[in-house]
Amino acid sequence: MADLWETLKERPTGKALGLLVEALLLRSLKGSLRGVYLRGEAPTGPLVLVLNHHGFFDGHLVWLLRKLYRKPLSLLVAEENLKGFPVLKLAGALEAGRVREALRRLGRGEWVALFPEGEMRYPGPLGPLREGARWLARKAGVSLLPVALRVVLRGYEHPEAFVWIGKPVPPGEEAGALGELLQALDALLAQTHPREVPEGFREVLRGRRSLEERVRPLVRLLRP
């Protein structure tokens, strides 16, 4: 099945279906979140991205990074999660067990992303990391890039997503780097007014406005 979907990517039908999947992902982000904010920059070249996994939109945000950087990016996903939605392979999903294919993609200069905690956890400190990301980076001879994610409901009607890209680290240092980055993100959010954008972040996707924001122009118009 995996080979079938990879072959389909290069055909007109597959490309059209891939565009539909990406449009649905974008619609989900823009319709559910007030916005997505990014801090940091990713270097060029092949990388293994390691991200915390604490919410529904984490996979969507990985896809968004792929679009923002216009970089081939594969997200390793548990095989059982792809069985029901294999069409997600057209948007970059790859079975976690297909290690050789992941290595081939890294060898072509692409990015491979994974959630090394191995499961979705309640929002909080980073959990223990599994060895897969470290092994993959060592085998491919590439660095790991920590990326902290947090989707939070603050001072507006809809949640906001914050993506903080750290600095590349060698295999073996990813747990400390990602844990510290996530801790710094939580601390920054805690000390920032709920209606202000945290220092260093920029809006990369504008989403759904709160009711008060939508009616504010009308209120101003009706003022005597």
218 domain residue, yes or no = no
- What pLDDT does 122 receive? 86
Tokens of 5: 């979907």
pLDDT band, residue 1 (cuts 50/70/90): very low
222 falls within a domain = no
Beta strand pairing status for 160-165 and 143-152? Answer: antiparallel
Flag whether 200 is in a domain.
Answer: yes
Better-scored residue on pLDDT, 91 or 38: 38
pTM here is 0.91
Give the number of other Cβ atoms within 10 Å of residue 109's Cβ: 13
Question: Do the bridges between strand 143-152 and strand 47-51 make them parallel or antiparallel, or are there none, so unpaired?
Answer: parallel
120 within a domain of the structure (yes/no)? yes
User: Which residues in 63-219 belong to E strands, given as ranges?
Assistant: 73-77, 93-95, 111-114, 143-152, 160-165, 202-206
pLDDT in tens, 99-148: 999 999 999 999 999 999 988 888 889 999 999 999 999 999 999 999 99
For 49-85, the pLDDT digits (tens) are: 999 999 999 999 999 999 999 999 999 998 888 887 8
Q: Specify if 101 maps to a domain.
A: yes
In a domain, 95, yes or no: yes
Q: How many domains would you assign to the chain?
A: 1
Rounded to the nearest 10°, the torsion over CA 80, 83, 87, 90 is 50
Residues spanned by the domain of 173: 2-208
**182 in a domain, yes or no?**
yes
- The percentage of residues in the chain with a pLDDT greater than 90, rounded to a whole number, is 72
- Average per-residue pLDDT for the chain: 92
Question: Within a 10 A sphere around the Cβ of 168, how many other Cβ atoms?
Answer: 20
Report if residue 114 sits inside a domain.
Answer: yes
